[in-house]
C-alpha cells in the first residue's frame, strides 16, 4: 500500500532522515518506535506532504506521491494526525469534524463517518457544540483523531496518540484505534512512546534510530527489552 | 443638543464607511498574515473603475450598478492574480512578512501614479445614490447615507454567512486558525489564499466606491484611507472582523464629536492619541485574536 524508497529528509538544515525505506501493507497496524529527535515525526511529515524529501521516492498504491502537496495526499486517502493536533480552536467540535471531510473523496460518506466517529468517541457527541479551544487534552486528542477519520482515509498515520494522556484515556484512545482498524479496515501507522500499548495492537514494528531503520520485525517476535535497549 | 445628536448620527454613518474600508484589510491579515500596504490604492482603483461608468451622469443610475459589477470582477481578478504571481512566490522565501509589505507598498506607489496618469490630478467624486433627505425628529439624514449604511450592513451579513456557511468560507476560517491543521484536512492553502485576496480586494474596492460617493477622491487620497484603515484594524484587534467593525463605529463617532466641539483639524490628533493609548493598555486591540 505504502512504499518508501531511500528518502532523505531535512528539518531546517539538519539531515534527519537518511536513505530510509519502509513498506506498509493493506490493513496492517505498523508501530514506529525510536528515541525522541531521531526523525519519527519528520518521517510522518514527509509522508503526508507537509514536508518533502530531497531525494528518494514515496509510492501510495503504486502512484508516486513524493512531490505531492498535502491536500492532494489527503485526497488519495492518507490522513495524518499531528502530535500538535492543530485543531481549529475557535470552531466547535462539529465544525472541526465537518472540515475533516473537506476533501472530495470524503463528501459522500460524511453522515456515515460521523456516526462511526461518535460511536468510537461518545464523549465528542456530548461536546459537539463546544469550541475546541475549551476542551481538555484528552478530548482534543479525540477530536484530532476523529477529524482525521472524517477524511475517509485508507491509511491513518498517528503521531504520539497517547502523549500527555492519563492511563485510562490512553486506553480508550488505543481501543478506538484498534476498532478503527478492525471495523473499518483502515491501515494504521502509529508513532508511539508507550511501547507496550502500541506493541499489543501492532502487526509489525519498525525501530528508527538516527534517521535510519535499525530493525524491522513482526510484533510477535519483538521483546520489549530489545526495543528499550535500542533507545540508549 | 440637536447638533450633538446629529453629530452622533453622522459619526455612525462615517463609522460604517470606515468599517467597510477596514474589512478588506483585516480579512487579508487575519487569513494570510500579510499586511496589505497597498490597501488604500486598491480602494481607490475600485472607486476610479466605477467612476469611469458614471463620469457623465449627475445622479447614479444603472450605469453605477454596472460600474460596481465591473469593479467586483476586476478587483477579484486583480487580487487573485496578485497573490498567485507575487505574494505566493514571496511567501515561500524567508522574511516574507517584510518582503510582502515592501512589495505591496511599492505596488501602491506604482498604481497611484498609474491612476494619476490616466485620470489626472483633479478631484473627482461619484454621484450619490439618491438625492434628498428625511427628517426623524431633530435628526436629518440624507437618503444617500441611509443607503450607504444599508449596503454596509448587507455586506457584513453576507460576509458572515459566507464565512460560516460556505465551504470556501469555512476553509478560510480554518486557515486563519491553523495553517498546518488546514493542510492536514486537505485544504489547498494556496488556493484559499488566492481567493482570500480576491475577496478582500472586492470588499476594499466596494468600500472605495462608497467613500467616493460620500467624500471625494484624487490619486493620492488612498494613503489617507489606508492610514485610517490601519488605525481601525489595530484598534479593533488585528485580524478580527468584529473588532474592526466596533473600532470603526467608535472612531467615526469620535471624529464627529471632535469636529463638532473642537473643529475638524483635531480629528487626527485625537484619533491617534486614542489609538496609542489603546495600544499601550491593550496591544492586541479591543478584540484581538484571529479572524
Per-residue pLDDT at B291 exceeds 60: no
Provide the CATH number for the domain around residue A30: 3.40.50.300
A74 closest CB neighbour out of B178, B186, B189? B186
Domain count within chain A: 1
pLDDT higher for A128 or B290? A128
**Which structural domain range is residue A101 located in?**
26-53+68-230
In a domain, B143, yes or no: yes
In a domain, B268, yes or no: no
Predicted local distance difference test score (pLDDT) of residue B69:
94
**Which structural domain range is residue B213 located in?**
16-222
Cβ contact B174–A99 (<8 Å): yes
Q: Which of A24-38, B49-63, B199-213 has the lowest mean pLDDT?
A: B49-63
Region B268-273 average pLDDT: 92
Per-residue pLDDT at B114 exceeds 80: yes
Domain count within chain B: 1
CA-based nearest distance A62→chain B, Å: 21
Interface predicted TM-score (ipTM) of this complex, two decimals:
0.93
The chain-wide mean pLDDT, for chain B, equals 92
- Structure pTM? 0.92
Cβ contact B183–A70 (<8 Å): yes
Region B215-221 average pLDDT: 94
In a domain, A191, yes or no: yes
> Which of B70, B116, B38 lies closest to B209, judged by CA?
B70
Predicted local distance difference test score (pLDDT) of residue B60:
60
How, if at all, do strands B139-142 and B133-136 pair?
Answer: antiparallel
Residue A189: phi and psi, rounded to 5, are -120, 115
- Mutation for testing the B interface, residue in A82, A90, A149, A155 having most B CBs under 10 Å: A90
In a domain, A126, yes or no: yes
- Give the cell for residue B239: 485580524
pLDDT higher for B130 or B108? B108
* Contact status of B203 with chain A (Cβ, < 8 Å): no
- Give the cell for residue A160: 504520539
* Mean pLDDT per 10-residue section of chain A, whose length is 232 residues: 95 91 96 91 95 96 96 97 94 96 94 94 95 93 94 95 86 90 95 89 94 92 84 76
In a domain, B216, yes or no: yes
Cβ contact B167–A74 (<8 Å): no
- Give the cell for residue B243: 473588532
- What is the chain A residue with the closest CA to B180? A86
Query: How many whole angstroms separate alpha carbon B34 and alpha carbon B100?
Result: 7
Residues 142..181 of B with a Cβ closer than 8 Å to A: which?
Answer: 167, 170-171, 173-174, 177-178, 180-181
In a domain, A221, yes or no: yes
What do you get for the CA distance between the two ends of chain B, in Å? 39
Region B178-193 average pLDDT: 96
Per-residue pLDDT at B76 exceeds 50: yes
In a domain, B240, yes or no: no
What percent of chain B stands above pLDDT 90? 79
Per-residue pLDDT at B290 exceeds 60: no
Predicted local distance difference test score (pLDDT) of residue A126:
95
Residue A10: phi and psi, rounded to 5, are -125, 145
> Which of B161, B150, B271, B164 lies closest to A95, judged by CA?
B164
Predicted local distance difference test score (pLDDT) of residue B288:
66
Cβ contact B184–A69 (<8 Å): no
Per-residue pLDDT at B289 exceeds 70: no
CA-based nearest distance A4→chain B, Å: 20
- Sheet with A155-159, strands from edge to edge, namely A78-81, A155-159, A187-191, A29-33, A204-209, A212-218
Per-residue pLDDT at B274 exceeds 80: yes
Mind spelling out the 3-state secondary structure of chain A?
CEEEEEEEEEECCEEEEEEEEEEECCCCEEEEECCCCCCHHHHHHHHHCCCCCCEEEEEECCEECCCCCHHHHHHHCEEEECCCCCCCCCCEHHHHHHHHCCCHHHHHHHHHHHHHHHHHCHHHHHCCCCEHHHCCHHHHHHHHHHHHHCCCCCEEEEECCCCCCCHHHHHHHHHHHHHHHHHHCCEEEEECCCHHHHHHHCCEEEEEECCEEEEEEEHHHCCHHHHHHHCC
In a domain, A5, yes or no: no
Q: Does residue A55 contact residue A6 with C-beta atoms inside 8 Å?
A: yes
Cβ contact A103–B186 (<8 Å): yes
Q: Which of B58-72, B139-153, B175-189 has the lowest mean pLDDT?
A: B58-72
Query: How many whole angstroms separate alpha carbon B127 and alpha carbon B145?
Result: 12
Per-residue pLDDT at B20 exceeds 80: yes
Q: Could you report the per-residue pLDDT of B117-137, keeping only the tens digit for each?
A: 999 999 998 988 888 999 988
User: Cell 460576509 identifies what position?
Assistant: B159
Amino acid at each position: 500500500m505504502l512504499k518508501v524508497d531511500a528518502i532523505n529528509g531535512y528539518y531546517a538544515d539538519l539531515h534527519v532522515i537518511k536513505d530510509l525505506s519502509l513498506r506498509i501493507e493493506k490493513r496492517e497496524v505498523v508501530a514506529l518506535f525510536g528515541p525522541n529527535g531521531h526523525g519519527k515525526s519528520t518521517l510522518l511529515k514527509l509522508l503526508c506532504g507537509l514536508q518533502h524529501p530531497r531525494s528518494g521516492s514515496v509510492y501510495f498504491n503504486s502512484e508516486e506521491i513524493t512531490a505531492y502537496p498535502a491536500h492532494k495526499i489527503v485526497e488519495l486517502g492518507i490522513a495524518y494526525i499531528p502530535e500538535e493536533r492543530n485543531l481549529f480552536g475557535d470552531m466547535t467540535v462539529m465544525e472541526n469534524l465537518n472540515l475533516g471531510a473537506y476533501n472530495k473523496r470524503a463528501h459522500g460518506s460524511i453522515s456515515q463517518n460521523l456516526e462511526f466517529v461518535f460511536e468510537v468517541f461518545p464523549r465528542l457527541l456530548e461536546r459537539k457544540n463546544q469550541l475546541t479551544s475549551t476542551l481538555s487534552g484528552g478530548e482534543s486528542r479525540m477530536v484530532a483523531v476523529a477529524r482525521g477519520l472524517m477524511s475517509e482515509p485508507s491509511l491513518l498515520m498517528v503521531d504520539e496518540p497517547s502523549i500527555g494522556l492519563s492511563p485510562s484515556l490512553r486506553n480508550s484512545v488505543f481501543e478506538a484505534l484498534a476498532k478503527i482498524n478492525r471495523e473499518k479496515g483502515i491501515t494504521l501507522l502509529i508513532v508511539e512512546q508507550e511501547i507496550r500499548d502500541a506493541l499489543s495492537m501492532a502487526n509489525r514494528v519498525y525501530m528508527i534510530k538516527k534517521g535510519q531503520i535499525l530493525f524491522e520485525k513482526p510484533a510477535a517476535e519483538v521483546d520489549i527489552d530489545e526495543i528499550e535497549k535500542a533507545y540508549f | 443638543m440637536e447638533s450633538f445628536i446629529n453629530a452622533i448620527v453622522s459619526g455612525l454613518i462615517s463609522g460604517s464607511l470606515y468599517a467597510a474600508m477596514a474589512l478588506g484589510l483585516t480579512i487579508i491579515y487575519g487569513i494570510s498574515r500579510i499586511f496589505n500596504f497597498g490597501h488604500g490604492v486598491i480602494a481607490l482603483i475600485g472607486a476610479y473603475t466605477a467612476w469611469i461608468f458614471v463620469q457623465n451622469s449627475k445622479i447614479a443610475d444603472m450605469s453605477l450598478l454596472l460600474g460596481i459589477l465591473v469593479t467586483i470582477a476586476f478587483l477579484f481578478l486583480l487580487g487573485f492574480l496578485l497573490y498567485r504571481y507575487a505574494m505566493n512566490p514571496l511567501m515561500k522565501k524567508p522574511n516574507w512578512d517584510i518582503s510582502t509589505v515592501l512589495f505591496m507598498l511599492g505596488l501602491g506607489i506604482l498604481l497611484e501614479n498609474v491612476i494619476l496618469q490616466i485620470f489626472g490630478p483633479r478631484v473627482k467624486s461619484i454621484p450619490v445614490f439618491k438625492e434628498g433627505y428625511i427628517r426623524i425628529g431633530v435628526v436629518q439624514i440624507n437618503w444617500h447615507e441611509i443607503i450607504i449604511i444599508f449596503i454596509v450592513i448587507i455586506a457584513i451579513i453576507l460576509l458572515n454567512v459566507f464565512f460560516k456557511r460556505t465551504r470556501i468560507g469555512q476553509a478560510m476560517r480554518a486557515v486563519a486558525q491553523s495553517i498546518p491543521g488546514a493542510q492536514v484536512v486537505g485544504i489547498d492553502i494556496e488556493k484559499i489564499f488566492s481567493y482570500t485576496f480576491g475577496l478582500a480586494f472586492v470588499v476594499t474596492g466596494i468600500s472605495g466606491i462608497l467613500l467616493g460617493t460620500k467624500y471625494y477622491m484624487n490619486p493620492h487620497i488612498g494613503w489617507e484611507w489606508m492610514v485610517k484603515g490601519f488605525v481601525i484594524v489595530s484598534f479593533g484587534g488585528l485580524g478580527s472582523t468584529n473588532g474592526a467593525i466596533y473600532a470603526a463605529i467608535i472612531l467615526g463617532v469620535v471624529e464627529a464629536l471632535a469636529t463638532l466641539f473642537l473643529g475638524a483639524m483635531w480629528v487626527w490628533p485625537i484619533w491617534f492619541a486614542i489609538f496609542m493609548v489603546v495600544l499601550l493598555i491593550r496591544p492586541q486591540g479591543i478584540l484581538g485574536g484571529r479572524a
